[in-house]
Amino acid sequence: MEGFLRFLVAKAILLALASSFVSCYDPSPLQDFCVAVDDASGVFVNGKFCKDPKYVKAEDFFTSGLNIAGNTINRVGSNVTNVNVDKIPGLNTLGVSLVRIDFAPGGQNPPHTHPRATEILVVVEGTLLVGFVTSNQDNNRLFSKVLYPGDVFVFPIGMIHFQVNVGRTNAVAFAGLGSQNPGTITIADAVFGSKPSIMPEILAKAFQLDVNVVKYLEARFSSNYDRHY
């Protein structure tokens, strides 16, 4: 009897953990669609309010412009064009979004992470070096590969990853993400461009740098110019 009770308790814990894990991701739809709508009178929640279905139209599931190259004249030489729930309200609760990434020769999408989404990227033009780094528990291993048109690479949720144009011409890639609003944390922007700034002494010790070097980096990133998304 005692062993059976232990089994039931263990099963209950596993079910609770599973439920908690599932709740970390985008909410599952409980109807055909939940087109996002702003409602200033409501309480802000993780997601969006739903438009009355009888007022939904085709335009709620549509956007255009991904045929237009993004402006890559900036400090990193790339541009990300987002197609998320803010661009297509009909994406709300569907757990998916899309980006177009343009790269100048030598341009990069700097090391960053998406806290709410796995990313799957396909190269349509040019040559990209891509990679991601695993967690501390996995000894921060780097998985990296050079991609050509038609090649596909996956970046697991939460992993720090990057893309660099290693060709002599412009490059273009499209990526699908497993969230209507995956979020982006660009490591350098977050660390050296936080508001207010992190104490230089903390970053100097963390990155094994001279304090003056940290102050220089914070001055560059805190200016917020050409911040990359």
Q: Which of 87, 85, 70, 93 is nearest to 172 (CA)?
A: 70
pLDDT digits (tens, 9 = 90+) for 89-144: 999 889 999 999 999 999 999 999 999 999 999 999 999 999 999 999 999 999 99
201 labelled as ligand-binding?
A: no
Q: What is the CATH number of the domain that holds 131?
A: 2.60.120.10
Residue 132 lies in a domain: yes
Instruction: Decide: 127 and 171 in contact? Cβ < 8 Å.
Output: yes
Question: CB 129: neighbour CB atoms within 10 A?
Answer: 15
Helix runs in the chain, H state only: 2-22, 187-192, 200-207, 211-222
How high is the pLDDT of residue 40? Answer: 58
Residue 200 lies in a domain: no
Residue 122 lies in a domain: yes
How does DSSP classify residue 22?
H
Angle between the N-to-C axes of helices 200-207 and 211-222, in degrees from 0 to 180, rounded to the nearest 10? 110
Q: What is the mean pLDDT of residues 24-34?
A: 71
pLDDT digits (tens, 9 = 90+) for 170-182: 999 999 999 988 9
3-state DSSP call for residue 155? Answer: strand
**Is cis: bond before 196, omega within 30 of 0?**
yes
Residue 217 lies in a domain: no
Mean pLDDT of the chain, nearest integer: 86
Residue 96 lies in a domain: yes
Give the rounded distance of the alpha carbon of 202 from its chain centre: 26
Residue 90 lies in a domain: yes
How high is the pLDDT of residue 2? Answer: 53
Residue 229 lies in a domain: no
Please give the full DSSP string across 160-199, using - where no structure is assigned.
Answer: EEEEEE-SSS-EEEEEEESSSS---EEHHHHHHS-SSPPP
Q: How many domains does the chain have?
A: 1
* Structure-token pair, residue 26: 């985008």
Q: Could you tell me the pTM of the whole model?
A: 0.82
228 labelled as ligand-binding?
A: no
pLDDT digits (tens, 9 = 90+) for 102-114: 999 999 999 999 9
- The secondary structure of the chain in percent helix, strand, coil, rounded to multiples of 5, reads 25, 25, 45
pLDDT digits (tens, 9 = 90+) for 2-25: 554 454 444 444 444 444 444 445
Q: Which of 163, 154, 183 is nearest to 111 (CA)?
A: 163
Residue 48 lies in a domain: no
- Number of C-alpha atoms within 13 angstroms, CB side, residue 42? 11
* Structural domain boundaries, residue 103: 78-183
Instruction: Decide: 103 and 171 in contact? Cβ < 8 Å.
Output: yes
User: Can you name the residues that pair with 40 across neighbouring β-strands?
Assistant: none
Query: Residues 182-185: contacts with CB within 8 Å, 24+ apart?
Result: 182/84, 182/97, 182/114, 182/115, 182/116, 182/117, 182/119, 183/114, 183/115, 183/116, 183/117, 184/80, 184/112, 184/113, 184/114, 184/229, 185/112, 185/113, 185/114, 185/115
